[in-house]
Amino acid sequence: MDELIAQIQANVQPLPISITVLVVLLLGLLLRSWRRLPYPPGPKGMPIIGNMLMLDQMTHRGLAKLAQKYGGLLHLRMGFLHMVAVSSADVAREVLQIQDAVFSNRPATVAISYLTYDRADMAFAHYGPFWRQMRKICVMKLFSRKRAESWASVREEVDKTIRTVATGSGTAVNVGELVFALTRDITYQAAFGTSSMDGQDEFLPILQEFSKLFGAFNIADFIPYLAWADLQGLNSRMVKARKDLDKFIDSIIDDHMKNKKKDDIETDMVDELLAFYSDEAKLSESDDLQNSIRLSRDHIKAIIMRMSGLLV
């Protein structure tokens, strides 16, 4: 008997890794089909990719045309991502008014989640205590009347740009370059209290790279199982972009922490946020804003870049 078992083991060859992975994926798809939820009607998709071949139709006119065929509540599957388009007034009222708390969270792509420090800013944070406290900080501190008056110096940057254009009357002027320079200077002035800082030329390339990554089509957003392969090279770009941002903004935060301003000196956005800084972020239900929320460094970096216009 032992000899028979030994012969069987010797003749049985292990399955190749590729076949093993394929079998696991097929089993996963079968399990997903057995637990399929009752989705609304919609165009039938292809295996794995779903309705991704219809991406060129995902405009307001295209969705309206599909709604005429499938109804005011339309289901689409983009890879493993299920999407619902609402075209009926009654359903829209249900979503936006009655069930608004359920649908209040803003969807985030892989790039947005990574580059915003896992939704550490107010724009992409999940609705809840953190989001409410962050809104309170923005209203009472960052967007207060006193803060708006302190940003009046931003007008000087606009005037400077206008004078540059007027001075070059009759000659060719690179408007794109002037607009980018104006954006950079306004951002520095509003967020950091000055329009001239060391490393200022690094800011524009970081801004441009973030904008490209936010708008890039990433297959991992629709088929998460392919994220590890990084077929488009976006993962390495995201890592480099956030590393550059960390280096840039950490130096600004460290400088503000080293040179803390007194109460009688005009503060900027970084100073206001550092008043809530703590190595260990926490929330409480206290009415005292100063004691109700503590921000980590990642929170501060994400909020600074959101308010300065980078994470838009």
Rounded to two decimals, the pTM is 0.70
Q: What is the mean pLDDT of residues 57-67?
A: 88
Spatial distance between the Cα atoms of 107 and 71, rounded to a whole number of angstroms:
24
pLDDT of residue 191: 67
Q: Which residue has the higher pLDDT, 38 or 113?
A: 113
At residue 294, the 3 state secondary structure works out as strand
Q: What is the mean pLDDT of residues 7-32?
A: 56
pLDDT, the chain, mean: 77
Q: Which residue has the higher pLDDT, 30 or 229?
A: 229
Beta strands in the chain (DSSP E): 73-78, 81-86, 282-283, 293-294
Q: How many residues does the chain have?
A: 312
Q: What is the mean pLDDT of residues 65-76?
A: 89
**Among 115, 79, 80, 55, CA closest to 235:** 115
Is the model's pLDDT at 177 over the cut of 60?
yes
Give the pLDDT confidence of 231-247 residue by residue, as tens digits. 888 999 999 999 988 88
pLDDT of residue 14: 52
Q: What is the mean pLDDT of residues 205-223?
A: 85
Q: Which residue has the higher pLDDT, 10 or 194?
A: 194
Q: What is the mean pLDDT of residues 19-42?
A: 65
Spatial distance between the Cα atoms of 180 and 169, rounded to a whole number of angstroms:
20
What's the Rg (C-alpha) of the chain? 26
User: What is the number of alpha carbons within 13 Å of residue 271 lying toward its C-beta?
Assistant: 15
Q: What is the mean pLDDT of residues 136-156?
A: 70
Domain residue spans of the chain: 40-104, 129-307
Is the model's pLDDT at 163 over the cut of 80?
yes
pLDDT of residue 240: 92
Percent of the chain beyond pLDDT 70?
Answer: 71
User: 35-44, 59-68, 93-102 — which is least confidently predicted?
Assistant: 35-44
Is the model's pLDDT at 71 over the cut of 70?
yes
Backbone angles phi, psi at 256, to 5 degrees: -70, -35
Give the pLDDT confidence of 266-312 residue by residue, as tens digits. 677 788 888 887 665 666 655 566 566 778 888 888 887 777 665 43
pLDDT of residue 238: 92
pLDDT of residue 134: 82
Which residue do the tokens 């922490």 mark?
257
Burial of 242 (0-12, 13-18, 19+ CB in 10 A): buried
Of 3.40.50.10420, 1.10.630.10, 1.10.1200.10, 1.10.150.130, the CATH number of 129-307 is 1.10.630.10
pLDDT of residue 8: 43
At residue 50, the 3 state secondary structure works out as strand
At residue 245, the 3 state secondary structure works out as helix
Is the model's pLDDT at 229 over the cut of 80?
yes
Q: Which residue has the higher pLDDT, 43 or 269?
A: 43
Is the model's pLDDT at 88 over the cut of 70?
yes
pLDDT band at 103 (very low <50, low <70, confident <90, very high): confident
Q: Is 277 in contact with 294 (CB distance < 8 Å)? A: yes
Q: For residue 222, what are its two tokens?
A: 């629709």
Spatial distance between the Cα atoms of 108 and 66, rounded to a whole number of angstroms:
25
Spatial distance between the Cα atoms of 241 and 110, rounded to a whole number of angstroms:
14
Is the model's pLDDT at 152 over the cut of 60?
yes
Which residue do the tokens 């976006």 mark?
234
pLDDT of residue 150: 60
Spatial distance between the Cα atoms of 305 and 312, rounded to a whole number of angstroms:
9
Is the model's pLDDT at 151 over the cut of 80?
no
